[in-house]
């Protein structure tokens, strides 16, 4: 199975400042199509997960442009250009290249 390792597990952030988190895979998630089969989801406190980024770098509909996804192969990054208070929650990466699909353990973002 593909193992995704996220870091850091906890990320204290300051509103207005940038933030960045990592997702590393033990196998390449680069599909022959050229897309990287990794998504990013945010689960706000008490809510269902919501899609932020799909196939590595594509922002989902309605997602603010302060969120961006990058990386290729085994190393991926989610960046928030300027954190807002509403961005708190747990961020998960997930690979959709292989079955079983697998999630990272999550990065918890909190306001300092």
Query: Is 53 a binder of another protein (CB under 8 A)?
Result: yes
Q: C-alpha dihedral over 99, 105, 110, 112, to 10 degrees?
A: -140
Structure tokens at 97: 């290249």
Query: Is 99 a binder of another protein (CB under 8 A)?
Result: yes
Structure tokens at 11: 């990320």
For residue 109, the surrounding DSSP H or E stretch is strand 107-111
Query: Is 67 a binder of another protein (CB under 8 A)?
Result: no
Query: Is 97 a binder of another protein (CB under 8 A)?
Result: no
| Interface with another protein (CB under 8 A) | 39, 41, 43, 48-51, 53-55, 58, 60-61, 90, 92, 94, 96, 99-106
């Amino acid at each position: 199975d593909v193992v995704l390792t996220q870091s850091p597990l906890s990320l204290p952030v300051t509103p207005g400042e940038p933030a960045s988190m990592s997702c590393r895979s033990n196998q390449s998630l680069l599909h022959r199509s050229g897309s990287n089969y990794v998504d990013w989801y945010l689960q706000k406190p008490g809510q269902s997960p919501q899609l932020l980024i799909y196939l590595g770098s594509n922002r989902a509909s309605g997602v603010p442009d302060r969120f961006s996804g990058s990386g290729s192969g085994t190393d991926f990054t989610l960046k928030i250009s300027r954190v807002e208070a509403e961005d708190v929650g747990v961020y998960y990466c997930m690979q959709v290249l292989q079955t079983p699909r697998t999630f990272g353990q999550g990065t918890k973002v909190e306001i300092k």
